[in-house]
């Protein structure tokens, strides 16, 4: 059943039926009653679009993601899925919009076109023009991540500094004295990507506090980059006996490099970090890591955004997630590195 059938039976135009449903324009009481009688007879229920029209809303949320040219990591995909699932539970649609480079026009259409009731913004930089742009328009928004100065905005984030610091302390407790941080790509670090900078800050603070020797390296978000990164790390810093990482996409390559070097985890080398739970459990042996609660975070981002849409003047809220480091099987006591194969002369 649709508006056209109601209009036909009531003997009015489709637009007149729309006016009655939306309340946007006055309709004579006799006409309104005639249309309502047909609606009651047919047991018509306006769909989400009709309800949205009446409420003056789109019932659509925008989710701003990295550009399509940048392959999304599993963690990013997990956040996308969790936001979409949470929105669906509220009978809301989600419009995905890439941002960055050539895709800034798409973001601008989201901001200025009033195609959505609010925006969830992912992958936040310390200085992020997108946040500034959204704040100026007055469009409700929530960020997954936070800027260097998040005052006055609603956000949720992971405590990368605290979690990586905790990982380093765990390694130090096991006797490791030479540790490394495998970060995200050099491009992301240069762009001021928040998690990378905060993880590095936490790493350096813990290394200093425990009197360790630490080295940090950037790594692309894929298996090949992870393998090359660890190969180079072992070649240039053979004294390193453990790594902490926030680069879950590089984990398979890191594991391959360690195996290729004849190093057993955790007997010869320990690995820990921050990752999605399934990455941690797929690592061999299972990774000692802080598991990122993506589903819970996506749901909370949507809940926060709906609060702002309903009450734009409400005090901004935020939450910093600090999940426990799950002790699995990839970290162990340090021991002297095994000698390599003898060189033939």
In a domain, 343, yes or no: no
Please state the pTM of the whole predicted model. 0.81
User: 148 and 68 in one domain?
Assistant: yes
Shared domain check, 278 and 203 = yes
Q: Are residues 262 and 311 in the same domain?
A: no
d(CA 319, CA 337): 42
Q: Final residue of a domain: which of 269, 291, 313?
A: 291
Is 330 inside any structural domain? no
What is the CATH number for 7?
1.10.260.40
Do 226 and 126 share a structural domain?
no
> 38 in a domain, yes or no?
yes
| Segments forming the whole domain that contains residue 11 | 3-54
Asked, for residue 335, whether it belongs to a domain, the answer is: no
User: What's the Rg (C-alpha) of the chain?
Assistant: 26
**Same domain for 144 and 171?**
no
- pLDDT of the residue at 344: 38
* Residues 136, 24 share a domain: no
Q: What is the pLDDT of residue 345?
A: 38
Do 120 and 148 have their domain in common?
yes
205 shares its domain with 232? yes
279/301 same-domain check: no
Do 207 and 298 belong together in one domain? no
Are 189 and 285 within one domain?
yes
- pLDDT of res. 71: 74
Q: Is residue 340 in a domain?
A: no
> Which domain CATH number covers 252?
3.40.50.2300
- In sequence order, the β-bridge partners of residue 155 are 143, 318
Would residue 167 count as lying in a domain?
Answer: yes
Domain co-membership, 212 together with 153: no
Does the residue 116 lie in any domain?
Answer: yes
Q: What is the pLDDT along the chain (345 residues), one digit of tens a residue?
A: 578 888 889 999 988 887 877 666 778 888 988 988 988 888 776 655 455 545 667 889 999 988 755 678 888 899 999 999 999 998 899 999 888 655 577 888 888 877 899 999 999 999 999 999 999 999 999 999 999 999 999 999 999 999 999 999 999 999 999 999 999 999 999 999 999 999 999 999 999 999 999 999 999 999 999 999 999 999 999 999 999 999 999 999 999 999 999 999 999 999 999 999 888 998 999 999 999 999 999 999 999 999 999 898 889 999 999 999 999 999 999 986 544 444 333
Q: What domain count does the chain have?
A: 3
- In this structure, the chain runs to a length of 345
Tell me, yes or no, whether 345 lies in a domain. Answer: no
């Amino acid at each position: 059943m649709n508006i056209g059938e109601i209009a036909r039976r009531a003997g009015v135009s489709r637009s007149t039926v729309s006016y009655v449903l939306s309340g946007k324009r006055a309709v004579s009481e006799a006409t309104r009653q005639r249309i309502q009688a047909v609606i009651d007879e047919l047991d018509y229920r306006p769909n989400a679009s009709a309800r949205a029209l009446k409420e003056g809303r789109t019932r659509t949320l925008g989710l701003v993601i990295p550009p399509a040219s940048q392959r999304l990591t599993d963690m990013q995909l997990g956040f996308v899925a969790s936001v979409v699932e949470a929105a669906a539970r509220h009978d809301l649609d989600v419009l995905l919009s890439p941002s960055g480079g050539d895709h800034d026009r798409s973001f601008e259409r989201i901001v200025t076109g009033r195609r959505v009731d609010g925006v969830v913004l992912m992958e936040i930089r310390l200085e992020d023009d997108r946040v500034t742009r959204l704040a100026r328009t007055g469009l409700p928004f929530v960020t997954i991540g936070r800027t260097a100065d998040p005052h006055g905005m609603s956000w949720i984030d992971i405590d990368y500094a605290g979690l990586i610091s905790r990982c380093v302390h765990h390694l130090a407790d096991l006797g490791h004295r030479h540790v490394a941080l495998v970060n995200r790509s050099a491009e992301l670090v240069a762009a001021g990507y928040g998690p990378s900078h905060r993880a590095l800050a936490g790493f350096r603070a813990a290394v200093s506090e425990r009197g360790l020797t630490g080295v940090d390296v950037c790594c692309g978000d894929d298996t090949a980059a992870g393998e090359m990164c660890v190969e180079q790390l072992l070649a240039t810093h053979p004294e390193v006996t453990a790594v902490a990482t926030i680069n879950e996409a590089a984990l398979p390559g890191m594991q391959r490099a360690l195996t290729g070097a004849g190093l057993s985890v955790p007997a010869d080398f320990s690995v820990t970090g921050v990752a999605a739970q399934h990455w941690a459990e797929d690592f061999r042996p299972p990774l000692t890591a802080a598991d990122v609660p993506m589903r819970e975070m996506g749901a909370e981002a949507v809940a926060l955004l709906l609060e702002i849409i309903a009450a734009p003047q409400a005090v901004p809220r935020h939450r910093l997630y600090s999940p426990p480091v799950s002790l699995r099987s990839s970290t162990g006591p340090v021991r002297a590195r095994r000698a390599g194969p003898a060189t033939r002369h």
